[in-house]
Amino acid sequence: MLFAAQAGALSKESQKELLAVIDRKLSTDGDLELVRRLVQEGNGVAKSKELAQRFVALAAAELNCLEPGEARQSLRLFADFVVVRTY
């Protein structure tokens, strides 16, 4: 939601609508569906995945200080899994 709410991600009208829904804590019927649509429209999911991938790359570089082995490999696989999983 935060990426979609940023300036330029949505039209001014859609941005206002998203912020209003967030302010009322999605308490009205249809709010969740509206947020999903606006987040998709504002590329919020894609931007979140890009950020997560950057953090995984940084974490993977830090894993190189560990001895090669099963533990390092498992941590790398787990980090990759977190980024590619879907709901």
Does residue 74 surpass a pLDDT of 70? yes
- For residue 65, the enclosing domain spans 46-84
In this prediction, what percent of the chain has a pLDDT beyond 90? 91
| 37 and 51 belong to one structural domain | no
Per-residue pLDDT of 20-35, as tens digits, reads: 999 999 999 999 999 9
How far apart, in whole angstroms, are the C-alpha atoms of residue 27 and residue 10? 22
Rounded mean pLDDT of the chain? 94
Amino acid at 47: K
Considering the entire predicted model, what is its pTM? 0.78
Does residue 86 surpass a pLDDT of 70? no
- Chain centre distance of CA 56: 13
> Looking at residue 23, what is its pLDDT?
96
| 28 and 12 belong to one structural domain | yes
Q: How many domains does the chain fold into? A: 2
Amino acid at 61: A
Two tokens, residue 61: 């570089």
